[in-house]
Amino acid sequence: MPAAKTALVVIDVQRGILDLPSLSRKKEIDQALDETVVRIAGLIQRARTASVPVIYIQHDGGPGHRLEPGTSGWPLRLEITPQPGERVIHKLACDAFFETTLGAELAAAGIKQLVICGCMTQYCIDTTVRRAVSLGYDVILAADGHTTADTRTLRFEQIIAHHNALLDGFDAGEHEVRVCPVSEIRLS
């Protein structure tokens, strides 16, 4: 049986994604984000080499939001700049499928499997991963290819570990999530 046609989905890797008020561990959070972006950039390059489509999801925040279009926090990070022909899909909610063209574009391309990475683990990553599986996609979540900031009750490392454990094996019918380190993800 041939391998499922795959796309790499990069969610909300924007300049101001973690510019949140009252981050007490800003230095550690920024360093973790930078390291995650390096891994994501490597995954993007591997996808391009393998002719796997790369789709960027960019959050459009409302007025005054750190990701408001046209503000300094809104652009995608330079390390992951899309190449000509790579799609950028704009969203207004945590779910990258909600009121966007993502589902239609994946269907038109015959995509059956998604590799997902990016930012805001407990919001946009979690929601999009769960929705993708319920829509009939198999998902590989890049275990060290997503990140977030601390909350009032949990450190970002705890949030990432929790979601990696919680989502690994999550399924809907025949479709499921596998959590895998970036270095072990095979793109074809």
Please give the positions annotated as active site. Answer: 124
The region, left, alpha or beta by phi > 0 then psi within -120 to 50, assigned to residue 63 is beta
Give the CA-trace dihedral at 3, 52, 74, 118, to 10 degrees. Answer: 40
User: What are the tokens at 172?
Assistant: 């809907």
Lookup result for tokens 């997503």: 146
Instruction: Kindly state the helix (H) or strand (E) to which residue 58 belongs, with its residue range.
Output: strand 54-59
CA distances from 188 to 10, 41, 49, 122, 149 (A): 17, 17, 9, 28, 32
Per the CB < 8 A criterion, the answer to whether 133 and 175 are in contact is yes
Closest-CA residue to 127 (of 79, 87, 91): 91
* Side chain identity at residue 39, one-letter code: R
